[in-house]
Amino acid sequence: MKHQQIDQYAASLPPDKRASVYGGTKSGYDARLRALNTSYTAPDNLRRLAGRIKQHAIENLDTYLPQVEARMLANGVKVHWALDGDEACGHVHRIMEERGAKKMVKAKTMVSEEIHLANYLEKRGMECLETDLGEFIIQIDHDHPSHIVKPIIHKNRREIAASFEREGLGAYNDDPEVITARARQFLRHKYLAADVGLSGANFVSAESGRIVLVTNEGNSRFSIAATKVHIALVGIEKIVPRDRDLGLLLNLLARSATGQQLTSYTEFISGPRTANQPDGPEEMHVIFVDNGRTRVLADDCRPILRCIRCSACLNVCPVYRQTSGHAYRAVYPGPVGAVLSPLLAGDKFPEMADLPKASTLCGACNEVCPVDIPIPDLLLRLRDRGKQVGSKAAAAATPPMGAFGTLAASPALWKVVMKTGGLSALYPTFLMPAAGKTWVRTRGMPKWRGGKFRAWMKDRRAKTKPLEK
Amino acid sequence: MGTSRETILKRTADALAPLKERAAYPDFNDSVAVMPALDRAGDLWAIFSERAKLVHGTPLSGSPAVLANWLREKNHARGYCDPALLPQFGEALAAAGCEVETAFDRARVDDYQFGITRAEAAIAETGTLVLTDGSTSSRLAALAPWTHVAVLKREQIFADVATAVASLPADPNVIWCTGPSRTADVEGILIEGVHGPGVQVAFLLE
Ligand code: SF4
């Protein structure tokens, strides 16, 4: 039987990678649990509340988008809109070109991965340097991030040390302290030489037009302290109604992502630097990116747009832990990715329709989600859709259900099979097909219990005689 | 402001039009996410100090000489000082043998071992320092040197995150620093001082 693509990937994953991913997710999971439970007596109530705020926000985007735009314009921010990745990249490129800018330093943003910004700019002769340590390592290795918060969760220090040596960042040394110090030294001069700083946004307040950025390393702060132009790429679903919502959301985000009470740097940016400030951008641009989001908004899976990219669902997912993020073949891995990636794929949905099956439906992702997204429900809806559109990717490794379908559709046949099914216990295992043999090698055949329901139902009817008319 | 704006707004409106009911904005108290263990009426500097230490921040308090001697002990001899703080700190720093500049020269970024700037506020609940463009004389000086000292006054300390959010200053650049710059990207091992300061001092001037 042909296996699902994700299973094939997992089977080929070297043991040390699997161990790295497992260790990284486990520690993330533990840290989250500790942080939430030591801080709050009823963290679940907070998750539900945050979910309701975000659900309200996305269901009223038609009000909030024009509102936030007006606020930003009043704050002196230049606002741009991009229907898709190409248009978003085009905006960035044009802004840089108009200013004769050649060098960009970028903080970690998932949207920039989604639209392949670095690639776009490099092809046009511009430098686009990742500054988050993990993303920087991904960039020099021509690799892809495999986790939303910990992009190099799949790498160990020896691989990183070898990459640094190859790139001329000093002789081989795999001490994480040395690796970090070298990156610090190298990157600070890059910031200072750059023309443009690019960031994403974790939240955008419709009330004040503030964009909120969180980083632990301080790289987004440096990117917009050293450069003259700040560009923020913002998915349209990042909007929250009011500033006051941020207190709750920031508390939940940091705890869910890394087990901190607050991320080391939380920045509230509403425009270019003030007149008295010697450092930082003279202009700020915000690019609102659709790239499939309005399609998701029209879909009954729209609650996935609440996601605040904390990675808690990745860390807790038994499938993610065994397969790693690359197995999901898209920018967003794990349970959130299994929902979001097929939806964002648009016409290519059938090619990604196997992802919703990469789940045991255990429900853990829903339980940890800081905005309480019912991921298992959404996965089920997408599984159904995969079937409806006849996706080949989704059908792979699905046991043939034809025989079952015939039986289930015919009460008489069903009765016969249920009555005689007990005979299967007599079926000699050496005659079984290969898949059956694999099954019984470590397990016994279950005891046949078919055919009892009809008898029970009849009996029940007899006992509870319907009232005479 | 071309057609993409209109298209996105139209698509958004069309996507939401079929909804019979829109989720209402929930009713909640600003302090829902305040940690219940926090004693909001207590000594906020004491709470701040305790919480700052938990995130490996360095709370110090006293006269300018206390800070100057601490810097000297750390072998910090060269740094930056906000010109507005020089009248208070200049003498003590000079006495301790610390040389300071009041303009941050980005061409010599590696020459500064420390940067002293003013904090806008602090948050006791999380041990967080609040910086703004208005109160920070140089963004780079508060970020690039290994040690950043944010000078704070007692009355500037908010009890909790919710209060700090409710009182966000009208400044285009409000930064909350909770402990030093850090990463755990390499095998999940915590390393401090990635791009920003490896040592984050909150100095209560008394
Ligand atoms: S779906 Fe929920 S748990 Fe998963 S990354 Fe998004 S916010 Fe976090």
How would you class A293 by CB atoms within 10 Å of its CB: exposed for 0-12, middle for 13-18, buried for 19 or more?
buried
- Which residue range is the domain that position B68 belongs to? 43-205
The answer to whether position B151 is within a domain reads yes
The answer to whether position B136 is within a domain reads yes
> Across residues B110-129, what is the average pLDDT?
97
| A49: nearest CB among B28, B36, B166 | B28
The answer to whether position B84 is within a domain reads yes
What per-residue confidence (pLDDT) applies to A403? 79
Sequence-separated (6 or more) residues with CB below 8 Å from residue A155: A20, A137, A143
What per-residue confidence (pLDDT) applies to A289? 98
Kindly tell me if the per-residue pLDDT of A469 is higher than 60.
no
The answer to whether position B145 is within a domain reads yes
Measure the CA–CA gap between A296 and A307, rounded to whole angstroms: 12
What per-residue confidence (pLDDT) applies to A208? 98
Report helix, strand or coil for A268: strand
What per-residue confidence (pLDDT) applies to A316? 97
Please name every residue paired with B178 in a beta bridge, in sequence order, or none if there are none: B128
ipTM for the complex shown: 0.97
Q: What residues of A are in contact with residue B178 (Cβ under 8 Å)?
A: 260-266
What per-residue confidence (pLDDT) applies to A96? 98
Instruction: Report the run of H or E that residue B12 belongs to, with start and end.
Output: helix B3-16
Measure the CA–CA gap between B65 and B116, rounded to whole angstroms: 14
Measure the CA–CA gap between A6 and A261, rounded to whole angstroms: 35
Task: Decide which of A461 and A261 is more confident.
Answer: A261
Task: Band the pLDDT of A443: cuts 50, 70, 90.
Answer: confident
The answer to whether position B146 is within a domain reads yes
Please name every residue paired with B158 in a beta bridge, in sequence order, or none if there are none: B123
Helices marked H in A141-237 — which ranges?
157-166, 176-193, 219-226
- Shortest CA gap B23–chain A (Å): 5
Instruction: Tell me the average pLDDT of chain A.
Output: 93
Residues B124 and B48: beta-carbon distance below 8 Å: yes
B146-197 pLDDT per residue, tens: 999 999 999 999 999 999 999 999 999 999 999 999 999 999 999 999 999 9
A375-420 pLDDT per residue, tens: 999 999 999 999 999 888 888 777 777 778 888 888 888 888 887 8
Sheet holding A211-215, edge to edge: A239-240, A203-205, A211-215, A265-269, B173-178, B128-132, B121-123, B157-158
Task: Band the pLDDT of A442: cuts 50, 70, 90.
Answer: confident
Measure the CA–CA gap between A390 and A398, rounded to whole angstroms: 13
Kindly tell me if the per-residue pLDDT of A434 is higher than 90.
no
Kindly tell me if the per-residue pLDDT of A262 is higher than 70.
yes
- Shortest CA gap A304–chain B (Å): 15
Selection from A62, A67, A178, A324 nearest residue B189 by Cα: A178
Two tokens, residue B164: 């700090």
- Is the minimum distance from the CB of A370 to ligand 1 under 6 angstroms? yes
A300-338 pLDDT per residue, tens: 999 999 999 999 999 999 999 999 999 999 999 999 999
Residues A212 and A206: beta-carbon distance below 8 Å: no
Residues A115 and A289: beta-carbon distance below 8 Å: yes
How would you class A457 by CB atoms within 10 Å of its CB: exposed for 0-12, middle for 13-18, buried for 19 or more?
exposed
Instruction: Report the run of H or E that residue B14 belongs to, with start and end.
Output: helix B3-16
What per-residue confidence (pLDDT) applies to A248? 97
Most B CBs within 10 A among A49, A73, A265, A343, hence the mutation to make, goes to A265
Kindly tell me if the per-residue pLDDT of A1 is higher than 80.
no
A280–chain B Cβ distance below 8 A for any pair: yes
Kindly list the domain boundaries of chain A, sorted by start residue.
1-41+306-398, 45-291, 414-462
Instruction: Tell me the average pLDDT of chain B.
Output: 96
A278-296 pLDDT per residue, tens: 999 999 999 999 999 999 9
Q: Which CATH architecture has domain A45-291?
A: 3-Layer(aba) Sandwich (3.40)
- Note every long-range contact of A67-74, with CB atoms under 8 Å and residues 24 or more positions apart, other chains counting: A67/A206, A68/A204, A68/A205, A68/A206, A68/A209, A68/A239, A69/A288, A71/A206, A71/A207, A71/A208, A71/A209, A72/A209, A72/A270, A72/A286, A74/A209
Kindly report which listed range (A214-218, A413-417, A434-438, B173-177) carries the lowest average pLDDT score.
A434-438
- Is the minimum distance from the CB of A313 to ligand 1 under 6 angstroms? yes
The answer to whether position B95 is within a domain reads yes
> Across residues B89-114, what is the average pLDDT?
97
Please name every residue paired with A199 in a beta bridge, in sequence order, or none if there are none: A232
Phi, psi (rounded to 5 degrees) for A268: -115, 105
The CATH number for B71's domain is 3.40.50.10420
> Across residues B53-79, what is the average pLDDT?
97
Measure the CA–CA gap between B203 and B206, rounded to whole angstroms: 9
Q: What residues of B are in contact with residue A83 (Cβ under 8 Å)?
A: 4, 7-8
- Is the minimum distance from the CB of A308 to ligand 1 under 6 angstroms? yes
- Shortest CA gap A334–chain B (Å): 19
- Is the minimum distance from the CB of A152 to ligand 1 under 6 angstroms? no
Sequence-separated (6 or more) residues with CB below 8 Å from residue B21: none
> Across residues A258-272, what is the average pLDDT?
97
Measure the CA–CA gap between B133 and A276, rounded to whole angstroms: 8
Q: Do A218 and B143 touch (CB under 8 A)?
A: yes
Kindly tell me if the per-residue pLDDT of A358 is higher than 60.
yes
Q: What residues of B are in contact with residue A271 (Cβ under 8 Å)?
A: 172
Domain total for chain B?
A: 1
Closest residue by CA, ligand 1 atom 4: A313
Kindly tell me if the per-residue pLDDT of A201 is higher than 60.
yes
Kindly tell me if the per-residue pLDDT of A190 is higher than 90.
yes
Residues 105-164 of B with CB under 8 A from A: 106, 109-110, 125-126, 128, 133-134, 136-140, 143-144, 161-162, 164
A1-41+306-398 topology per CATH = Fumarate Reductase Iron-sulfur Protein; Chain B, domain 2 (1.10.1060)
B102–chain A Cβ distance below 8 A for any pair: no
Measure the CA–CA gap between A265 and A272, rounded to whole angstroms: 18
The answer to whether position B172 is within a domain reads yes
Residue tagged 């200049």 (tokens): B90
Looking at ligand 1, which atom is closest to the CA of residue A304?
A: 1
Question: For chains A and B, what is the number of CB pairs under 8 angstroms?
Answer: 256
> Across residues A184-190, what is the average pLDDT?
96
Measure the CA–CA gap between A310 and B111, rounded to whole angstroms: 37
Looking at ligand 1, which atom is closest to the CA of residue A312?
A: 3
Kindly tell me if the per-residue pLDDT of B1 is higher than 50.
no
Task: Band the pLDDT of A467: cuts 50, 70, 90.
Answer: low
Residues 248-267 of A with CB under 8 A from B: 248, 250-252, 258, 260-267
Q: Do A81 and B180 touch (CB under 8 A)?
A: no
Looking at residue B169, its amino acid is P
The answer to whether position B4 is within a domain reads no
Per-residue DSSP letters for A424-447?
GGGS-GGGS-HHHHHHHHHSPPPP
The rounded percent of chain A whose pLDDT value lies above 70 is 98
- Shortest CA gap B66–chain A (Å): 26
Task: Decide which of A446 and B201 is more confident.
Answer: B201
Sequence-separated (6 or more) residues with CB below 8 Å from residue B150: B117, B118, B119, B129, B131, B142, B177, B200, B201, B202, B203
- Shortest CA gap A203–chain B (Å): 14
Measure the CA–CA gap between A225 and A227, rounded to whole angstroms: 6
> Across residues A235-256, what is the average pLDDT?
98
Task: Band the pLDDT of A466: cuts 50, 70, 90.
Answer: low
Measure the CA–CA gap between B94 and A35, rounded to whole angstroms: 43
Residues 70-89 of B with CB under 8 A from A: none
Residue tagged 């087990």 (tokens): A259
Bridge-based pairing state of the strands B182-183 and B191-192: antiparallel
Per-residue DSSP letters for A61-120?
HHHHHHHHHHHHHHTT-EEEEESSHHHHHHHHHHHHHHTT--EEEE---HHHHHTTHHHH
Task: Band the pLDDT of A422: cuts 50, 70, 90.
Answer: confident
- Is the minimum distance from the CB of A312 to ligand 1 under 6 angstroms? yes
What per-residue confidence (pLDDT) applies to A452? 81
C-beta neighbour count of B17 within 10 angstroms: 9
| B144: nearest CB among A82, A188, A208 | A188
A21-78 pLDDT per residue, tens: 999 999 999 999 999 999 999 999 999 999 999 999 999 999 999 999 999 999 999 9
What per-residue confidence (pLDDT) applies to A42? 93
> Across residues A239-257, what is the average pLDDT?
97
